[in-house]
A and B are shown apart, each in its own frame.
Chain A
């Protein structure tokens, strides 16, 4: 049993151990608290479609924007060893561009939605490459470089909106934000699956994953091996830009309006947290996107669990903080070391301790 646990922590599963343990703990806790928590029901929504309902669905649905952003954030974190704190602000800009384009004519057609989405993508990519240039070319720490857009991004969105919070109502937009007629699964979930598949395909058919890791581990060594580390860093920010546009589009479609102040508020912190809970080092290097996606669902499940326990939405943060601290303490190297030593001592296995001591010396 101990061996299995050790293997789980130290072996290949090591990185995914913490997020998986977190999910398992949350599931067990919820099952004890209220066995009906994970009940998934089928009902008819206002338009008469058959849709899935329940806490589980709202967890998976609600975490969509976070999961999409966490994917891009993982790449930036791995390549640059720092985080983009402007994703929420950039998503507000992308959402504003989307709504502005949709509002430009009387009718909203499918082609126009596509055009608006592409425009939002382009704008988000431009802002992404602005951040990327500061980081890759001017060698500024990512957090500082993105602080600029964090400061002024939401104001730029407000400016694009012309000082208002315009609404859009169209069956296409509500289909993106909630359900496509005939499909019982919420559309944002499908978008997340699509994005995950696209990332998987990119990693399968290009060497982006390898290049990103080598740039993150040692930029100058990667450069000496013929990898253009500047370009890889810039590319990671541009890919994050696409993720930002997708997340912004989901966010706007959910509500049918763009509010520059509240759209995806504080999501940058949650996205970084998802990356960290996913077992990725915030200092760059090796990464697993799947870990970050699970991390995003951990955060959302925690939030929904707290809501189900009648904790008010403003107080959730305090409890969330305690769980985060617990998770990172369990995941910290010092704690793991102590834990292993403790396990060894319990088994009377002095050899393990002396080996450890020798390795440290």
Chain B
């Protein structure tokens, strides 16, 4: 690398390269859909719907990105989301206040994160098993709380749920001449805020840099004086907190609790992080990439539906195929770079 002193441009890091590929593919895909499929893709509302439907997935993926950068895994996030939704719905229906329900959501998430973090970092148990147990526990608790779907009937919460941000100039004029502004739910704002906060944490704080160091090489980060145990603990704590937030956002979107809520969300979140350029081995990843990973994953599903492949199996088969493409691409790109580094 040293020989290229005369080069003006600094070489991209692995993180930036993988993220760049994802963002590029997302825009190519979306523009192609606009050209070939037309229909809903021409309206900006389509993009906002994507965000509205997947705000909680974006939040959860941020948490998972943090854990994965630190070299761990958290597969309990979907189940915790579901548990948060169910307990908040039941609490609100008993006549609780909105503020306390938010605190309840956050504390459930934090409690799960703290237990996971303690078991993984201080007792050195494999993270997969710990969070698997957490997933089982959260799913079981959700059905113990209520096996029947519950709908929120709380007035204060409903008025909070109805707050929609309307962007007038991005709207479109319907066939009957009415102007319909683009609508964005409050959850999207929360999700984008989470992305921004996590971005700042990962980029500018000591703990955030610690995640990368720990995921890259645990021994050398220990020698650099990073408190690996505490750093790992805080990564799970953050992931738990974000699952709690995600649960609340999920509830604001659906307004109901159901035992099967957020089923399979953990795998979607892992897939989003991977597509966004995070490596499961740790040390590489970026939360902006994760955001676009989520959008890419959900856009492809929407494209499959709107292009007329109505059989129920096509959606997951194309998702699987796309996942395969991204995973292979990353593997090939990273290996090429390693080779060129070696030869340099």
Contact = CB atoms under 8 A, between A and B. Distances in A.
Nearest to A319: B140
Contacts of A83: 128
Contacts of B331: 138-140
Interface of A: 83, 134, 138-141, 143-145, 147-156, 158-159, 163, 269, 272-273, 276, 282-283, 312, 314-322, 324-325, 328-329, 332-335
B126 interface: yes
| Pairs of residues from A and B, 10 with the lowest C-beta to C-beta distance, nearest first | A318-B140, A152-B320, A321-B137, A317-B140, A155-B313, A321-B136, A314-B143, A155-B316, A317-B136, A321-B133
Given A144-B327, A152-B317, A324 B129 contact: yes
A322 to B, nearest CB: 7
Chain A interface helix/strand/loop/mixed: helix
Nearest to A86: B320
A74 B236 CA distance: 27
Given A143-B280, A282-B129, A317-B137, A163 B311 contact: yes
B200 interface: no
Nearest to A158: B313
Contact of B323 (A138, A148, A272): A148
Contacts of B132: 269, 272-273, 324
Contacts of B314: 155
B147 A314 contact: yes
Interface stretch (B12-20, B117-125, B153-161): B117-125
A328 B317 contact: no
Contacts of A163: 311-313
A143 B335 CA distance: 19
Contact of B140 (A155, A316, A329): A316
Nearest to A335: B123
B317 A318 contact: no
A329 B128 contact: no
B324 interface: yes
Contacts of B320: 148-149, 151-153, 155
A332 B130 CA distance: 11
B141 interface: yes
B232 interface: no
B117 to A, nearest CB: 14
Contact of A148 (B123, B140, B280, B327): B327
Given A138-B328, A152-B320, A325-B133, A144 B280 contact: yes
A73 to B, nearest CB: 13
Given A147-B323, A314-B143, A152 B316 contact: yes
Given A155-B315, A158-B313, A324-B136, A150 B129 contact: no
Contact of A150 (B128, B267, B281): B267
Given A152-B321, A155-B313, A315-B140, A328 B133 contact: yes
Contacts of B128: 83, 143, 272, 282
B271 interface: yes
B257 interface: no
Given A282-B128, A312-B143, 12 more contacts: A138-B328, A151-B320, A152-B320, A155-B320, A156-B317, A312-B147, A318-B136, A320-B140, A321-B133, A324-B133, A325-B133, A334-B123
B88 interface: no
Contacts of A140: 327, 331
Contacts of A138: 327-328, 331-332
Interface string B275-305: 0000011000000000000000000000000
A158 B140 CA distance: 28
B193 to A, nearest CB: 29
9 contacts: A138-B328, A141-B280, A155-B314, A272-B129, A282-B128, A321-B134, A324-B132, A328-B129, A328-B133
Given A141-B281, A155-B316, A334 B124 contact: yes
Given A282-B126, A317-B140, A151 B335 contact: no
